[in-house]
Homo-oligomer: A and B are copies of this chain.
């Protein structure tokens, strides 16, 4: 039987004693010079190989430490088809290392088109009666603007394989409020989206009490985060904006349930760019930054109530 996404995520967080998500957002100019030198042809294929080498070496460092990684599709798409092959390699290695792998694609469309994205993310694409795997992500970020019937194929596609979705609710950028803060029927748009996420998530709760439809809520909006945690006790929050984007552990604290479940906090640049590009010992810097982020979150959020890793 397929295990529920929220239960898999909770088990991973308990096993590692934390809920830190390492964001894999590779950018050529931020890669260690050593890695760039190994793939110096300045072609898309060489750059994609550099992204693979870098991400796999980061995965080797962080896999013993954290439960989850998030792969930012945009930086792989920026290298074209070669980049998409790199994305596939990185996602597969993350899963092979026992990590929960979130594909951050913010996908959205309607009907059969949405289903095509969902097939790519989760079960694979059916050809002549066979399912051929594509990204094999554990979860996908999606954008809710198109409405419930457009979101539904993503939820169904995830559910069929014990995967999850994270719906954009309150994004971490400074200008997030332009539409998300528009007040209708006494509450801002993002709370309407949050209420819908709550309903979608309730349709399939895991044994841990959380559903398989999560919400993206930025650490850069701590008071909204606290209010949403109260309102949506069974929704898992994916919290970007911690670290390089300016959110603190204290800002992210409200995302957690008191037992330390219910949230995963993402750090991208704070970990994968935690070194000067000329640092020969950059993997040690990634290791230190990861441990420091875990310690910070364990001290300053309810995440400390997760048993420490065995």
| Interface presence of A97 (CB below 8 A) | no
CB-CB nearest in chain B for A48: B81
- Classify chain A: how many residues form its interface, as a range: 35 or more
Once bound together, how far apart are the Cα atoms of A27 and B128, in whole Å?
12
In the complex, are the beta carbons of B80 and A42 less than 8 A apart? no
| Interface presence of A132 (CB below 8 A) | yes
| Interface presence of A18 (CB below 8 A) | no
In the complex, are the beta carbons of A74 and B128 less than 8 A apart? no
In the complex, are the beta carbons of A179 and B84 less than 8 A apart? no
| Interface presence of A174 (CB below 8 A) | yes
Once bound together, how far apart are the Cα atoms of A160 and B178, in whole Å?
25
A25, A43, A112, A179 pick with most chain B CB within 10 angstroms? A179
In the complex, are the beta carbons of B173 and A182 less than 8 A apart? no
Binary flags per residue of A143-160, CB closer than 8 Å to B gives 1, else 0:
111111110000000000
Once bound together, how far apart are the Cα atoms of A156 and B109, in whole Å?
24
| Interface presence of A289 (CB below 8 A) | no
Contacts known (A28-B127, A111-B173, A143-B143); A179 close to B192, Cβ less than 8 A: yes
In the complex, are the beta carbons of B47 and A127 less than 8 A apart? yes
Once bound together, how far apart are the Cα atoms of A183 and B192, in whole Å?
12
| Interface presence of A292 (CB below 8 A) | no
| Interface presence of A85 (CB below 8 A) | yes
Contacts known (A47-B127, A74-B117); A145 close to B144, Cβ less than 8 A: yes
In the complex, are the beta carbons of A127 and B44 less than 8 A apart? yes
| Interface presence of A226 (CB below 8 A) | no
| Interface presence of A77 (CB below 8 A) | yes
Binary flags per residue of A162-193, CB closer than 8 Å to B gives 1, else 0:
00000010011111111110111100010011
In the complex, are the beta carbons of A173 and B144 less than 8 A apart? no
In the complex, are the beta carbons of B132 and A44 less than 8 A apart? yes
Once bound together, how far apart are the Cα atoms of A125 and B146, in whole Å?
29
Once bound together, how far apart are the Cα atoms of A84 and B117, in whole Å?
13
In the complex, are the beta carbons of A74 and B175 less than 8 A apart? no
Q: Give 13 pairs: A residue, B residue, CB < 8 Å, sorted on A.
A: A79-B134, A80-B134, A81-B84, A106-B108, A108-B108, A143-B145, A144-B145, A147-B176, A147-B180, A149-B175, A150-B175, A179-B189, A183-B185
